[in-house]
Structure 1
Amino acid sequence: MKNQITCCLAGLLLLLAACKKDDTPTTPKVYRFNSSIQVDGLTRTYTVNLPPNYYEASNLSLVIALHGGGGSGAQFESTNNLTPKANASGFIVVYPDGTGVINTWNAGRCCGSAMNNKVDDVKFISQLIDKLLADYKINPKKVYVTGHSNGGMLCYRLACELSNKIAAIAPNGCSMVMSTPCNPARPVPILHMHSKLDQHVPYQGGVGNGVTGISVPPLDSVFTVWSGKNGCTNPNQLSFSNSSYSLTKWLSCSNNSSIHFYLTNDGGHGWPGGLPGGPSSDIPSTAINANDLLWDFFQQYQLP
């Protein structure tokens, strides 16, 4: 009888232990983070979106998406549809915010209070990359930057000054407006998207109808600079053209880099395949999809 009681008690204890283990709450998996870092006395904010496979994956790619002048990370995310692409394709996307009452980036000769106050946005993005690499499961060789308008301008400045941390860039609806010589430490692959109908930042250069009030260089001159920086020996080759868009490539570049230029015949100053940036913004091009193009392009490159 004593042995039976002992066995029953032992079985009951095992059952209770099993129940306790099953009832232990698990830490919920979080996929969205709003955070900030301090840079030069300024609180710099950003939003992180992790893909659904994040907690089972490793060595993920990071895409930093820079909004246009007057926008914000939240606004850019809501109109470019890049987050659904990131979730489907399994990469991390981060949306930083510019500075000022009207958010802008200091891209050199543009734009707004960020330029006037000499805000060091290159330093911000550099420290942001360091923070993200420390906090998340990111492959440091697979960090990429994309951006629209003023954000695209900053893409070019980052390529000039932060090429040791950024594998490739994909600017849209912008030009390069450096105020100092561009001296990248390595060739930088570039995918540029633009509309012929963009009157805010004309692809042929000059002063657009936007609030920047500056004259931007024509894209031909920008690509001439970068084909030289990238050591391209097969420049300016028309790869494809139809009634909707053309694709020009600069190939045979150093370290297998390249430059791809998509020029659409429709749309305006908007994110191709996305939504208008605001109530009075241009209707974006439907001839190409920026998110598909940039992700296909980025996957071809990584830092040495």
Structure 2
Amino acid sequence: MTNFLFNSLVVSLFMLTGCDKSDGPEEKTYRIEGTMQVDGRTRHYLLYLPTGYYDDTSRYALVLGLHGGGGSAVQFDRHYGLTQKANASKFIVVYPEGVRSDGPLGVRTWNAGTCCDYAAENNIDDVKYIRLLIDQLVGRYRIDAKKVYAAGMSNGGMLAYRLACEIPDKIAAIAPVSCSMVASGYSPTRAMPILHIHSAQDTKVPVQGGVGIFGYYFPPVDSGLTVFAMGKPPVVVEDNANYKLTKWGEDMEYYLTTDGGHAWPGAVRNTSWGDPSSTAVNANDLLWAFFQRYSLK
């Protein structure tokens, strides 16, 4: 009888614990570390759902935060403040990761065209990865598939340009930072809203083009913008001591700051060797205000 009572108690506790677990905090996870298989490789990403996601039935915009060469999902999350912006403004943000090199440092990069490093040299299909990732996230979470955006720093911004070229049916708008377009041979199939942010002090990816970080040649910033302008002329709409704002029509904006360097504007400087961030503009505020104006047809 004693064993019977003991076993009954264990079963009862198990059942109660199971009920609590299914309805408890474990089911309301806002930070998700995910993986998926693409071309035989395990690809990683970090996803954040905004507070309140589980309390309604609405669909949310999705912003992809693409790290720079040598960066990571965690690095972007910790240093640029986009997660805090997503939580405050109620959109979902995902930080995909580039593949690691086979060198001793295992540096992560993206294949954005002629740059960078292992990913480009081995022709890693990062566009395919991002396309499959978007489809998977749209299928699993309440994401509005017409409101998916890509923001990227440096090599990540270069990939954002390539995504705009190759999967414009998935991306409503892009916001490249501190980069230039290194994918070539593309003709836009539709007008792509672009917000580009750069510092005139950036020597790692020079605004006027030239050899920059790790000996790569980078085209001038406005050469890529001209491709997407589809014949619209550039017009300087503001030029002050802090920045110059140039537009191509109403859907392409280029902020060139006078301060900062090769860094995410508005971010806290996270290393002693990294460039200072511009204080003239805040990239997170600008990109979210810009993205909200656009959705896929």
TM score, norm. by length of structure 1: 0.86
Deviations 1:69-125 (A, max 9, x none): 001010011111000000000000000111121000000000010011110000000
The residue matched to 2:76 in structure 1 has which SS? helix
Cα distance in 1, alignment partners of residues 138 and 278 from structure 2: 34
Work out whether residues 153 and 264 of structure 2, in 8 Å CA contact, stay in contact via their aligned partners in 1: yes
Cα distance in 1, alignment partners of residues 109 and 225 from structure 2: 24
Cα distance in 2, alignment partners of residues 112 and 57 from structure 1: 42
Cα distance in 1, alignment partners of residues 224 and 130 from structure 2: 22
Letter in 2 for 1:280: W
- The structural deviation recorded for 1:59 is 1.4
Q: 2:69 maps to what in 1?
A: 69
Picking from 18, 24, 28, the partner of 1:27 is: 24
The residue matched to 2:63 in structure 1 has which SS? strand
- The structural deviation recorded for 1:30 is 1.1
Q: 2:202 maps to what in 1?
A: 198
Picking from 266, 274, 277, the partner of 1:273 is: 266
- The structural deviation recorded for 1:182 is 1.3
Q: 2:46 maps to what in 1?
A: 47
Letter in 1 for 2:286: L
- Residue 253 of structure 2 is aligned to residue 260 of structure 1: yes
The residue matched to 1:134 in structure 2 has which SS? helix
Q: 2:96 maps to what in 1?
A: 96
Q: 1:226 maps to what in 2?
A: 228
Q: 2:217 maps to what in 1?
A: 215
- Residue 139 of structure 2 is aligned to residue 134 of structure 1: yes
Cα distance in 2, alignment partners of residues 189 and 288 from structure 1: 19
Cα distance in 2, alignment partners of residues 53 and 204 from structure 1: 44
User: Which piece of structure 1 moves more, 289-298 or 219-228?
Assistant: 219-228
Cα distance in 2, alignment partners of residues 261 and 151 from structure 1: 17
Picking from 158, 161, 164, the partner of 2:166 is: 161
Deviations 1:244-285 (A, max 9, x none): 111111116xxxxx1100000000000000023533100110
Work out whether residues 104 and 112 of structure 1, in 8 Å CA contact, stay in contact via their aligned partners in 2: yes
- Residue 276 of structure 2 is aligned to residue 295 of structure 1: no
The residue matched to 2:85 in structure 1 has which SS? helix
- The structural deviation recorded for 1:57 is 4.2
- The structural deviation recorded for 1:181 is 1.1
Cα distance in 2, alignment partners of residues 70 and 166 from structure 1: 24
The residue matched to 2:115 in structure 1 has which SS? coil
Deviations 1:10-52 (A, max 9, x none): xxxxxxxxxxx9xx63232111100100000010000000001
- The structural deviation recorded for 1:226 is 1.3
Cα distance in 1, alignment partners of residues 187 and 226 from structure 2: 14
Work out whether residues 188 and 228 of structure 2, in 8 Å CA contact, stay in contact via their aligned partners in 1: no
Work out whether residues 73 and 95 of structure 1, in 8 Å CA contact, stay in contact via their aligned partners in 2: yes
Q: 1:118 maps to what in 2?
A: 123
Cα distance in 1, alignment partners of residues 203 and 147 from structure 2: 34
* Equivalenced residues, count: 272
Letter in 1 for 2:48: N
Cα distance in 2, alignment partners of residues 223 and 69 from structure 1: 22
Identity %: 54
User: Which piece of structure 1 moves more, 55-64 or 273-282?
Assistant: 273-282
- The structural deviation recorded for 1:214 is 1.8
- Residue 185 of structure 2 is aligned to residue 181 of structure 1: yes
TM score, norm. by length of structure 2: 0.88
Unaligned runs of 5+ in 1: 1-20, 253-257
RMSD, aligned α-carbons:
1.6
Picking from 237, 240, 252, the partner of 1:239 is: 237
